[in-house]
Amino acid sequence: MDLLLVHTNASRDIYQNLNKISQVEPPIWAALLANNIRGYGHSVEILDAECKGITPEQTAIEIDRYKPKLVCFVVYGQQPSASTQNMAGVHQVLKTLKYEYPQYKTLLLGLYPSAVPRKTMEDENTDFVCQGEGPETLLGLLNSDLDNPSHLKRIPGLWYRDDDEIKYNKPAPLIENLEKSLPGMAWDLLDMKSYRTANWHAMTNDNDTSPFASLYTSLGCPYRCSFCCINAPFGNNNTENGSGKPSFRFWNPNFMISEFDTIADMGIRNIKIADEMFVLYPKHFMKLCELIIDRGYDFNIWAYARVDTVKPTYLDTLKKAGVNWLALGIESGNKNVRQDVIKGKFSQPDIKEVVSTIQQHDISVIGNYIFGLPEDNYETMNQTLDLSMELNCEFSNFYCTMAYPGSQLYLESNSEDLPNTYTGYSQHSYDCKPLPTKYLSSEEVLRFRDEAFYKCYENKSYREFIHKKFGNETIKQQDNMLKIKLKRKLLGD
């Protein structure tokens, strides 16, 4: 075996007991990279420890069973900010490999390693770190003597050790031709029946969460919100050796429809379009939707959009293509707080109008809200909570502000305000530690977020709305979710 791509499992530490119902998503980047590398004649497999539900110790045993030349830990997650929390599983497996199977060469690739490559090399017992998207770095390693520094110094995007010194090479250029370099996912290397979508996404599929597929139709994001780290692998890692020029690219819709054909052939209806911003360029997403409509597929799709990119003229086509959910980054109910993090210049009335218009086209809305942005105080956070109750989206995600590595907030934050564990960056973990604001402590932000969650989902008008739209079974599913209480170290649990 030349290359083993590994997605580790730390779901219990990341989600606590919510891991029983949380989404289990196919490792998109691992599947994209696998297809690239085997196109050059190398043998590749994917080990998805989360999908298999195996421990770090069991993962190490599985790695030894494959006996690969190179073990690549692909560190992404269910949303862009999940890469840091998923480092918890990587750390545990690396620790086991060091003592039980030290003969294997390891590479860390993904958002977190790209954001802080030197820190990753210093903190983890890994031979290599990839800074950037990965294909050129992977291919260079597979074609090299992994013990020869003269070989390693020629590989773009590679961080490595030469004796006790950490060295790095110039980043690889960003991929220009996505169809050629990343020609779809290696679906055959994934156990697609074992993945499940989120409970809210399944509301529009009779609450059936499986099977489930996710994929990209574009890479990166043209916006630069200060709390977001999405562009770390795409040219802007904000720390060391980055180009500082993130790029937004997309696959040709005529190519992407073949991926949707494959998903349909597998009998999968639940689909997540994982693009950071799907509803952005009409020539891209509208063309793809039209191709899906022409095929007559009956998908249940969710995708991301911005409040200021969703136009009424798009909605009929999105709905006909099976886009039953749009996730909107509403973030804050206070205009000044929102604009401070460069999210956009849309006003609160615009938000209300856009959400209402989407719902009128029978597309459900996921409202994403953040408590604890730098200018937040109790008054502004209550404005955000009030807005979420007024909008009455079909589902609401409540987050605390985190200074994710790769974001501008990370660079601006004091080290004592940052979590000292990987799972501390998880919104649902026991040791979750959000950023303090200028006026509130981390504890105050976290307590407000957790209490706001129950205020929203136990609200009578919301429950009546959901019962009327989705039925009693969906209410039961939400009640099961509400029974799972998160424990918080910061709050004295």
- What's the per-residue H, E or C state across 268-282? CCEEEECCCCCECCH
**Would you state the pLDDT for residue 242?**
66
| 100-125: pLDDT as tens digits | 999 999 999 999 999 999 999 999 99
- 76: Cα separation from own chain's centroid: 6
Q: In sequence order, what DSSP letters do the residues of 54-117 get, joined into one string?
A: --HHHHHHHHHHH--SEEEEEE--SSGGGHHHHHHHHHHHHHHHHHH-TTSEEEEEEHHHHHSH
Cα radius of gyration (the chain): 22
315 in Cβ contact with 363 (< 8 Å): yes
**Would you state the pLDDT for residue 234?**
80
Terminal CA-to-CA distance of the chain, rounded, Å?
46
**Would you state the pLDDT for residue 80?**
59
Say how far apart CA 339 and CA 347 lie, in whole Å.
10
Task: For Cα atoms 31, 410, 157, give the angle at the middle one, nearest 5 degrees.
Answer: 45
Say how far apart CA 114 and CA 163 lie, in whole Å.
22
Tally the residues of the chain. 493
Q: What share of the chain is helix, strand, coil (3-state, %, to 5)?
A: 45, 15, 40
Domain 3-162 = CATH 3.30.360.10? no
Report residues of the chain scoring pLDDT below 50.
Answer: none
Where do the structural domains in the chain lie, given as residue ranges?
Answer: 3-162, 196-216+251-401+437-491
Say how far apart CA 297 and CA 293 lie, in whole Å.
7
**Would you state the pLDDT for residue 271?**
98
Q: Which CATH number fits domain 196-216+251-401+437-491: 3.30.460.10, 3.40.30.10, 3.80.30.20, 3.50.50.60?
A: 3.80.30.20
What is the bridge-based pairing of β-strands 249-250 and 395-400? unpaired
**Would you state the pLDDT for residue 342?**
63
Say how far apart CA 328 and CA 297 lie, in whole Å.
25
Residue 69 — φ and ψ, nearest 5°?
-65, -40
Beta strands in 186-296 (DSSP E): 212-215, 218-219, 249-250, 270-273
Calculate what percentage of the chain has a pLDDT beyond 90: 84
The helix/strand count (H/E) of the chain reads as: 20, 15
| pTM for the structure as a whole | 0.95
